[in-house]
Amino acid sequence: MHDFRPRRSVLYMPSSNERALEKAKTIPCDGLILDLEDAVAPDAKPAARDAACAAAASGEYGAREVTIRVNGMDTPWHADDIVDASAAGPDAIVVPKVGSADEVRALVASMEKAGAPERTRLWAMVETPEAMFNAREIAAASDRLAVLVMGTNDLVKELYAEHVPGRAPLLASLSLALLAARAAGKAILDGVYNDVKDTDGFLAECRQGREMGFDGKTLIHPGQVDGANEAFAPSERAVTDARGILEAWEARDSGVVTYQGRMIENLHVESAQRTLAVHDAIRALS
Ligand SMILES: CC(C)(COP(=O)(O)OP(=O)(O)OC[C@H]1O[C@@H](n2cnc3c(N)ncnc32)[C@H](O)[C@@H]1OP(=O)(O)O)[C@@H](O)C(=O)NCCC(=O)NCCSC(=O)C[C@H](O)C(=O)O
Ligand SMILES: [Mg+2]
């Protein structure tokens, strides 16, 4: 009933960093974004592209979802990035600064022209004011588009905002993108937390992202993986409650039943089924 792929922790790494590419094989994250964009200097881009494509094609990353983030559509590297990444066949090609449904369709067409295998999905980064206003059309533009990824650093820059605890300046954007993803039935990942030494701030932001409804968080350091894995997995309590709700529902003799004093209706049963599907999918990873 629920076809769910865990994406609690999705780690960016510069594809120019050989050591990080090697280390990633042992990091317990659900996904990897091999970056060719912001984390790679212009003169290192061709070598980084080769390294990312070789890594994605290697099959050495186990159950982790392996993606390549190409350079933006308005850059001189984009066309070659799409051609080479499509040939490498990662789980997804991540495109930064997608601003419209037309751009999504153009990206899908260029992936198809470059022979990207069916399994290679498109992930669109939404990180500009234009993308926020077009989020609904972007999310629904193609079946190939599987995930929206928040780019909160670019958003803060574009809004002339500031990174603050609680992210008040970003809440409208985060909510718009979430609404768009859910309306289109797509997954959505929260943005990165820049201070790799601030564990409390990072965990608070993970909790906020989970409570808002994000599927997981994009990360920049291996030290952030365990916190995201825990925050975006159903807690033991949630799993116990989900089982209890299903048992109470099975034993009902009317359309409404209670579990531990709380009213349970069909919609709560669907949520409980989803919780157990997520829990099972996470357990199946290990
Ligand atoms: C942030 C970092 C530059 C910090 O690097 P460093 O000081 O080297 O960290 P450590 O010494 O603590 O590293 C310990 C070991 O872990 C490896 N490592 C570090 N980061 C990664 C990683 N991301 N993936 C894999 N492995 C990693 C180090 O190599 C050390 O290994 P060892 O020597 O064997 O012990 C660095 O973490 C980093 O570069 N992070 C990724 C930065 C990045 O990719 N940025 C671009 C994406 S973020 C973005 O653009 C979001 C979006 O577009 C937006 O707008 O918001
Ligand atoms: Mg960005």
Statement: residue 61 has pLDDT above 80: yes
Domain boundary among 231, 256, 271: 231
CB 10 within 8 A of CB 189: yes
Rounded to the nearest whole angstrom, what is the distance from the C-alpha of residue 31 to the centroid of ligand 1?
15
Domain boundary among 197, 212, 231: 231
Ligand-binding site membership of 154 (annotated) = yes
Whether 3 is in a domain gets the answer no
CB 142 within 8 A of CB 115: no
- Both 266 and 148 in a single domain? no
Q: What is the 3-state secondary structure (H, E, C) of the chain?
A: CCCCCCCCEEEEEECCCHHHHHHHHHCCCCEEEEECCCCCCHHHHHHHHHHHHHHHHHCCCCCCEEEEECCCCCCCCHHHHHHHHHHHCCCEEEECCCCCHHHHHHHHHHHHHCCCCCCCEEEEEECCHHHHHCHHHHHHCCCCEEEEEECHHHHHHHHCCCCCCCCHHHHHHHHHHHHHHHHHCCEEEECCCCCCCCHHHHHHHHHHHHHHCCCEEEECCHHHHHHHHHHCCCCHHHHHHHHHHHHHHHCCCCCCEEECCEEECHHHHHHHHHHHHHHHHHHCCC
> How much is the average pLDDT of 95-114?
98
Q: Which protein residue has the closest C-alpha to ligand 1 atom 11? A: 221
Whether 141 is in a domain gets the answer yes
Rounded to the nearest whole angstrom, what is the distance from the C-alpha of residue 156 to the centroid of ligand 2?
10
pTM of the predicted structure, to 2 decimals? 0.96
Whether 1 is in a domain gets the answer no
Domain boundary among 231, 248, 270: 231
* CATH at residue 58: 3.20.20.60
Q: Which protein residue has the closest C-alpha to ligand 1 atom 51? A: 151
- Both 258 and 174 in a single domain? no
Would the ipTM clear 0.85, i.e. be above it? yes
- Both 119 and 240 in a single domain? no
Q: What is the pLDDT of residues 172-186, one digit of tens each?
A: 999 999 999 999 999
* Per-residue pLDDT, 3: 60
Whether 2 is in a domain gets the answer no
Statement: residue 1 has pLDDT above 70: no
- Both 14 and 148 in a single domain? yes
- Both 216 and 251 in a single domain? no
Query: Looking at ligand 1, which atom is closest to the CA of residue 24?
Result: 25
- Both 215 and 258 in a single domain? no
- Both 119 and 201 in a single domain? yes
Q: Which-ligand-closest: CA of 12? A: 1
Query: Looking at ligand 1, which atom is closest to the CA of residue 152?
Result: 56
Q: What is the pLDDT of residues 205-261, one digit of tens each?
A: 999 999 999 999 999 999 999 999 999 999 999 999 999 999 999 998 877 799 999
* Per-residue pLDDT, 253: 85
Rounded to the nearest whole angstrom, what is the distance from the C-alpha of residue 233 to the centroid of ligand 2?
26
- Both 157 and 22 in a single domain? yes
Q: 132 is in which domain, residue-wise?
A: 9-231
Pocket of ligand 1 (CB under 6 A): 11-14, 19-20, 23-24, 35, 38-39, 96, 127, 151-154, 191-192, 196, 220-222
- Both 247 and 198 in a single domain? no
Whether 196 is in a domain gets the answer yes
For tokens 């039943």, what's the residue?
A: 257
Tell me the residues surrounding ligand 2 (ion) with CB < 5 Å. 127, 151, 154
Whether 219 is in a domain gets the answer yes
- Both 60 and 118 in a single domain? yes
- Both 145 and 259 in a single domain? no
Q: What is the pLDDT of residues 109-137, one digit of tens each?
A: 999 999 999 999 999 999 999 999 999 99
Pairing of strands 257-259, 262-264: antiparallel
- Both 156 and 217 in a single domain? yes
Whether 171 is in a domain gets the answer yes
Our count of domains for the chain comes to: 2
